[in-house]
Amino acid sequence: MHGETFNFIEVFLFREQVIVFTFKVAEKMFWRTGRDLNPGPSA
């Protein structure tokens, strides 16, 4: 029982790390494509 709880916490933390990592990568890609599509007034 205790082992299952520890495993659940481990999986939950791992999943949260993956979500945060994926979000950061997606944000980076989004900003890069956004700059390429819309250079803005400075260009």
15-19, 21-25, 37-41: least confident range:
37-41
Q: What is the pLDDT of residue 22?
A: 95
Q: What is the pLDDT of residue 32?
A: 81
If one compares 30 and 40, the residue with the highest pLDDT of the two is 30
Q: What is the pLDDT of residue 13?
A: 92
Integer Cα distance of 16 and 38 in angstroms: 32
User: Mapping DSSP to helix (H, G, I), strand (E, B) and coil, where does residue 25 land?
Assistant: helix
Which of 18, 21, 20, 43 is closest to 10 using CA atoms?
A: 18
> Does pTM top 0.75 for this prediction?
no
Integer Cα distance of 30 and 37 in angstroms: 10
Confidence of residue 17 (pLDDT cuts 50, 70, 90): very high
User: Mapping DSSP to helix (H, G, I), strand (E, B) and coil, where does residue 43 land?
Assistant: coil
